[in-house]
Amino acid sequence: MSDIPLIQLKRVTKVYGQGATALQALKGVDLQIEAGDFVAIMGPSGSGKSTAMNVLGCLDTPTKGEYLFRGVHVETLSRDQRARLRRRFLGFVFQGFNLLARTSAQENVELPLLYRGESAKARHAAATKALASVGLTGWEHHTPAELSGGQQQRVAIARAIVTEPAVLLADEPTGNLDTQRSREIMELLWGLNVEHGITVLMVTHEAEMAAYAKRIVHFVDGMVDNDTPNPHPAGLHEAAPAAAQTPPTLETA
């Protein structure tokens, strides 16, 4: 297995606007993430945590600095190459679920595979497996309106993992859920991390949810203020850690 970290940010800055109105959202961020890690990113509003996640998710590019994904300089890639990286290696979960309202759970989960040109048979099999992995067997044909908030977020997670990504980026995944549903979602993310080796990067403002992570990174004023290991993650009793998966190289994606 390669000794190269899965993800590295080196002195990354991000500036929006120009001149007197310029806003420096990131001010030289250094961050290293190993395959199989579970990192909670926290910080006050305007601290740069969401900007950092946008850069990590290839939704935005650094103004300066380096972003390496398994040793490949992402900041030098073209727009199409970054899109390819997103489709092949990254999965996204958002606070608002972002499900298609008149579309079944099965069809919502199949959508990323449709974009990748997979056959109908392959899409159906993969989506059925992904829904089963989040505990929604039997709910495949229900629309979002027929599902609870927790179930909708499970569908969103199934959609994010149906492509078998190396990294799952979760932006406030429990923000629209009550305490019990939030804990269920965090146990699910923990299981995907330790049982399937998916690296999880999660933005949250809730300390109780961050407690499930193996590391907690605090952003303040566009910089990493502290990066603290969590020796006793809240989900530790659920499962024993499995070996982290090794994603294919960018060249073979």
Task: Evaluate if residue 4 carries a pLDDT over 60.
Answer: yes
Q: Do 7 and 215 contact (CB within 8 A), yes or no?
A: no
Task: Evaluate if residue 231 carries a pLDDT over 50.
Answer: yes
Lowest mean pLDDT among 4-8, 57-61, 130-134, 243-247: 243-247
Distance between CA atoms of residues 168 and 157, nearest Å: 9
Task: Evaluate if residue 169 carries a pLDDT over 80.
Answer: yes
Q: Write down the mean pLDDT value for the chain.
A: 90
- What the chain holds in terms of domains, given with CATH numbers, is 36-61+80-252 (3.40.50.300)
Give the confidence band of 155 by pLDDT, cuts at 50, 70, 90. very high
Distance between CA atoms of residues 111 and 117, nearest Å: 10
- Rounded to an integer, the average pLDDT of 202-222 is 95
3-state secondary structure 44-85: CCCCCHHHHHHHHCCCCCCCEEEEEECCEEHHHCCHHHHHHH
With a pLDDT cut of 70, the percent of the chain lying above it is: 92
In the prediction, which pLDDT does 247 show? 40
